[in-house]
């Protein structure tokens, strides 16, 4: 069996402002870097074999900080792990969307990345990781909406609706018969104030 540890990136200024990020390459802010250091300290005390990351700055910087505390652990970028494309809403807040497109903006064609495309690229990446690192423990540093979509595809008996917290750790066990979620949205490493 292969273990996948999903880590959501640290916080950004747009997270704090409630702006949709999607494919927009927003960097971590100072607090996000501190959060990444906290999760890195936690993960450095565990055994992980390889780290995969989205190429977007907020995830790749989080992954780099984690990798710095794990000498000898390979860090691999995979663009298929990027966040879901948000089309025309990227860079906007909910209030701005309502003002611009009305309260029913979700019913409009906003150019979002298609669900089938998200699932196809995401599962292709996860399956490649699983095949290449069979029996290993693999960290995947990515994005909240993307990770949630992958969980809902990989763990068939549960629906994950809760948003994932920044730098949360979610661990799943990929087995031949049934995948199991061992840990969901854990932020114990952030328990003391930043």
Residue 192: strand, helix, or coil:
coil
Smallest Cα–Cα separation from 76: which of 47, 100, 53? 53
Q: Is 94 a catalytic residue?
A: no
Catalytic-role residue among 68, 77, 83, 173: 83
DSSP 107-125: GS---PPPHHHHHHHHHHH
Tell me if residue 137 falls in helix, strand or coil: strand
Q: What is the largest CA-CA distance in the chain?
A: 51
Q: Out of 9, 90, 113, 143, pick the active-site residue.
A: 9
What separation, in Å, do the N-terminal and C-terminal C-alpha atoms of the chain show? 36
Query: Dihedral, CA atoms, 52, 129, 90, 94, nearest 10 degrees?
Result: -100
Active-site residue set: 9, 83
């Amino acid at each position: 069996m292969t273990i996948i540890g999903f880590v959501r990136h640290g916080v950004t200024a747009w997270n704090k402002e409630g702006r949709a990020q999607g494919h927009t390459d927003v960097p971590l802010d100072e607090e996000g870097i501190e959060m990444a250091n906290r999760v890195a300290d936690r993960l450095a005390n565990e055994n992980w074999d390889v780290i995969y990351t989205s190429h977007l700055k907020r995830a790749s910087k989080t992954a780099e900080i984690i990798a710095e505390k794990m000498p000898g652990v390979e860090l691999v970028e995979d663009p298929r792990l990027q966040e879901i494309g948000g089309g025309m809403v990227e860079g906007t807040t909910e209030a701005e969307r309502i003002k611009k497109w009305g309260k029913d903006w979700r019913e409009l064609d906003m150019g979002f990345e298609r669900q089938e495309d998200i699932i196809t690229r995401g599962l292709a990446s996860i399956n490649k990781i699983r095949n290449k690192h069979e029996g290993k423990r693999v960290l995947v540093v990515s994005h909240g909406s993307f990770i949630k979509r992958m969980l809902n595809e990989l763990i068939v008996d549960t629906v994950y609706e809760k948003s994932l917290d920044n730098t949360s750790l979610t661990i799943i066990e990929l087995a031949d018969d049934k995948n199991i979620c061992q840990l969901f949205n854990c932020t114990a490493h952030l328990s003391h104030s930043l």
